[in-house]
Amino acid sequence: MSIESTENQRFPKGKHPNSIKNLKPFKPGQSGHPGRTPKDVSLTSLVKKYMEEVPELVGDKKNDKTWRELLVHAWLVGAYKGNSVLFKELLDRLEGKVMQPIGGDKDAPLFPAISVISNNGEKLAREICSGIGTEPLTPGGVNKN
């Protein structure tokens, strides 16, 4: 056994005097990760900032369209030319994702669990499960009747 390992055995993990000596608490308002990207400079916020700008040149051609228009055009052209990923994404955004049916088999049927947090939600859940509440919901999410 080395001297270091026997010395460390006398102290619980994290309680060695050298460990405690190196601790330096953060000052109020100081970040624990000073090199990180600030919250207000996310990739999404930067993209949104530039989407409505009109780049002067695209490639070597003069341009009068916004980045948003250019990207939508490239997306449509790519889908038209057969890029199945772009085409699927376009359909999903325009028509909504296709519902994927789920179900068990006769030996292992599925039993869904529904959690509701209001009396009205419980009433609607019971109607749906019994086949009564199958009409589409109103925009507020609750049937009028």
The pLDDT, as a whole number, for residue 8 is: 45
Query: How close are the terminal C-alpha atoms of the chain, in Å?
Result: 79
Q: In this predicted model, which residue has the larger pLDDT, 104 or 143? A: 104
- Summarised one tens digit per residue, pLDDT across range 71-119 is 999 999 999 999 999 999 999 999 888 887 777 777 777 777 777 788 8
- What average pLDDT does the chain have? 78
| b/e sequence 29-61, b meaning 16+ C-beta within 10 Å | eeeeeeeeeeeeeeeeeeeeeeeeeeeeeeeee
The pLDDT, as a whole number, for residue 6 is: 46
